[in-house]
């Protein structure tokens, strides 16, 4: 059994996918780029864009009844590994030890021409 997660505080899903899905006590987010809740790509530095991605994910997780403290796994996609340090610094500010497991993957392109996309898996509190 799975339940769709929706919030107006993050960009709406615009295709055949959900912002997140809850299955049992697990929350699976879709990858988020730095769209504002109104659906426009945020202009600005990679740090500002990373904050927007994290704000989107935070809103989705909260809508599912979980916080960053429940995140156990993340995947980060970047189009330029030169941005890794700046992204990592912002990303790390949203978590505390023990940090989620994670991989960072450099890809040729991301949706909408974005430079960064992050998805998460979280465990709901019992």
For 58-89, the pLDDT digits (tens) are 999 999 999 999 999 999 999 999 999 999 99
Q: Is 126 a residue whose pLDDT tops 80? A: no
pLDDT value at residue 93 = 97
pLDDT level of residue 14 (50, 70, 90 thresholds)? confident
pLDDT level of residue 17 (50, 70, 90 thresholds)? very high
Q: Is 39 a residue whose pLDDT tops 90? A: no
Tens of pLDDT, residues 95-120: 999 999 999 999 999 999 999 999 99
Exposure string over 89-99, b if 16+ CB within 10 A, otherwise e: ebbeeeeeeee
pTM value is 0.95
pLDDT value at residue 98 = 95
Instruction: For residue 12, give every residue at least 6 positions away whose Cβ sits within 8 Å of its Cβ, in sequence order, or none.
Output: 6, 19, 39
pLDDT value at residue 35 = 94
% of the chain residues with pLDDT over 90:
92
Whole-number Å distance between alpha carbons of 93 and 100: 13
Q: Is 38 a residue whose pLDDT tops 80? A: yes
The CATH superfamily label for domain 2-123 reads: RutC-like (3.30.1330.40)
């Amino acid at each position: 059994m799975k339940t769709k997660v929706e919030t107006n505080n993050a960009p709406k899903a615009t295709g055949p996918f959900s912002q997140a899905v809850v299955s049992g006590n697990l929350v699976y987010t879709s990858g988020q780029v730095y769209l504002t809740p109104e659906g426009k790509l945020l202009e600005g530095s990679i740090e500002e864009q990373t904050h927007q991605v994290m704000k989107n994910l935070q809103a989705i997780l909260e809508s599912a009844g979980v916080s960053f403290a429940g995140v156990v796994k993340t995947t980060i996609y970047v189009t330029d590994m030169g941005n890794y340090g700046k992204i990592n610094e912002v990303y790390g500010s949203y978590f505390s030890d023990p940090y989620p497991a994670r991989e960072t993957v450099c890809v040729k392109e991301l949706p909408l021409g974005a430079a960064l996309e992050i998805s998460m898996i979280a465990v709901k509190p019992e």
